[in-house]
Structure formats: structure tokens, C-alpha cells
Structure 1
């Protein structure tokens, strides 16, 4: 969960230093990384919820 924001931040700092872009690119990279982390967490929670429902159904089956 911490990797996407860090990669976004480091990538944005690299872009800023390499191409001389402003500090706005760092903020955009950080926000993009946080957004990716939130989407990944949401997908993981959906997956675990679906697996929990499937295991409950299997336990109820005679």
C-alpha cells in the first residue's frame, strides 16, 4: 500500500530534476500514487469479501 505513492513521488522528483518541471509534478505524482493505492486496496477488499462469501456457502452446503 505504501509502494505506489513512493514510486509516484520518486518518479515525479526524477521528472522534475531531469526535465526541469516545477514542483506541481511532484504533487501530481503523489496524488496519482495515492489514487493507485486506494484502488488497489478497494480491489483487495472486494476480493477477500467475495472469497469469504464463497467459503461461507461451502460450509453451509450439506
Structure 2
């Protein structure tokens, strides 16, 4: 139980994404996809070690 509120929020977000119009910068998208963005990429610290599953805190 308690899924109703989460599902309603997901539905609201999905509708906003589907029906809202966004101003898309296609030139910036092209630069990002081609790797010419010049931005600094960060590695996500949670995915550095594929064997670390973050369940150690919960194991007894």
C-alpha cells in the first residue's frame, strides 16, 4: 500500500514531459553527442566499483 501517491507523481511528471514544449538547443546537443563539448566529465562515484553493491551497510 502507499503506491498511489508515488504513481500519481510519476504520471504527472510523465504527462509534463510528454505534452510540454521545450526549447531544445540542437547545436549544443550535437556538440555533446560528438564529444566536442569541451566540458568536464565526472564519473559517478557510486559506479566506480562494479562489485560494490552498497548492501554492506545493511548486512549483519
Normalised by the length of structure 1, the TM-score is: 0.31
Normalised by the length of structure 2, the TM-score is: 0.32
Give the number of the structure whose residues are more often helix, by fraction.
Answer: 1
Greater relative contact order, per chain length (Cα 8 Å cut-off, separation 6+): 1
